[in-house]
Chain A
Amino acid sequence: MEILRALSDAFGLLLTGDQALYEIIFLSLQVNLSAVALAALIGFPLGALLATSRFIGRGFINMMVNTLMGLPPVVVGLLVYMMISRSGPLGVLELLYTPTAMIIAQLILVTPIITALTRQSLSRLNDDYQSMFFMLGLSPWRRMRTLIYDGGMDLVTALLAGLGRAMAEVGAVMIVGGNINHYTRVMTTTITLETSRGHLSTALALGAVLLTMTLIINALVAILSGGR
């Protein structure tokens, strides 16, 4: 019965446009979309470079990308914390417990995913196009542009996969954001907090929003990847 009441309260909060709740939702979107956009700026060209070029250090970068994909978020949170805390090398920037710090942590988590997926899909495409590129004597820059253009749908899939990871993240943003009310409180950290307090209705309302967003993202990934 308690679950039913919590569910009813949760939908009440969503339907009545509870200001605090929507503030959290918007901050989550702001942090996650910013991190994913920045990660795409790094991950797309880096993935394309890894897919199309042979250069010294490529193996090492590939290994790092693969390793970072499996990095536990709390470890990323800890590392970013150490860098931006007052006594850290970037402490002077006073980023700790700000949305910017959360974006940095998310960026570190999402970039390897976008890079790896970009590398994988463009590598396949590059194999298909290679003989034509060669016969036409195209520059590496032009090859990369062509692959990014023709592999557009695959890259959107990579972007959405990155967004999915960012949306689900809690450990790193909790450590560097501090879960400060009206400032750095996002959906996942709020769910953790409200559940520990026993306020299940707020947690459930946010959970429903999070679940819906994740479902939409996964549905888009499935549609864009054509069932592959």
Chain B
Amino acid sequence: MSIKPTYLTLKGEGLGLKRDSRMVVSNADITVSSTGLTGLIGANGSGKTSLISMLAGLTVPDYGVVSLTDHAGRVASRKQIGLMMQKPVIMRRSVYRNCEYVLSALNIPLSERADRIMAGLALMELEHYAQQDARTLSSGEQQRMALARVLMASPGVLLCDEATSNLDPKSTQMIEAVIMDKAAAGMPVLWVTHNLAQLRRLARQVVFMQKGEILANQNLDDFFHTPACSDVAEYLAYERI
């Protein structure tokens, strides 16, 4: 994929979300920019998915604003956000046509599509499955296809919500390697995970959530060695169990 993408800054300010009069996310400030991969971590029900959903635009926040801007501060289109979820959307089509659908929806010129698709599939070692029904792939292959599909659209920012949960080590490793390459090249990535070991491998910055609030936003070393609060320290203690 030779296309040079424009990387963007995704910012959530004072984000809040209410469900049945209970705040599932409160006053969350977060920035995803070209400063390396940002890991978002927290226990189940801490509000990570709600937060990423607001950042992606899938959920309208009850409080606060989300902005997506380029380096000059100009507002960018939401279509430039790439989203990878734990359960990817798999269309009832071949692998190739799953990818083509996205490129067509984003008005990528027809002449570019085939090259982009084959390069994207090759990156995830799926080129031999191009004509296979995507639903017949294993869950690891489906997730790799989903990542290839997102990346071939050259997103300005990438959000990944537990994208490697329940995947085999090979698929996890491949996805991590590609994500790390992209983050190193400047792509802003927000990576939601439960997995502290994975966080150590991937993240440069760590955001910790608990009960809907962001309690820490630190660089990786500080997060593990000088936790911002006792809740973080308590969470980290589980790594040793």
Contacts and interface: CB of A to CB of B under 8 A. Distances in A.
B91 A150 contact: yes
Contact of A150 (B78, B83, B93, B106): B93
B85 A135 contact: no
Given A131-B58, A131-B83, A136 B105 contact: yes
Contacts of B81: 135
A105 B79 CA distance: 47
Interface in B20-61: 56-58
Contact of A136 (B79, B85, B92, B93): B79
Contacts of A129: 89, 91
A134 B89 CA distance: 12
Could you tell me the dominant secondary structure of chain B's interface residues? loop
Most buried by A among B79, B105, B106: B105
Contacts of A62: none
A132 B89 contact: yes
Which residue, of B77, B79, B89, B92, has the highest number of chain A Cβ atoms within 10 A?
B92
B89 A128 contact: yes
Contacts, number: 36
Contacts of B85: 131
B102 interface: yes
B106 A136 contact: yes
Contacts of A75: none
Contact of A134 (B58, B91, B92): B58
A135 B83 contact: yes
Interface in B84-103: 85, 89-93, 101-102
Contacts of A132: 89, 91, 102
B174 to A, nearest CB: 22
Interface in A83-127: 125
Interface in A11-58: none
A138 B105 contact: yes
Nearest to B82: A135
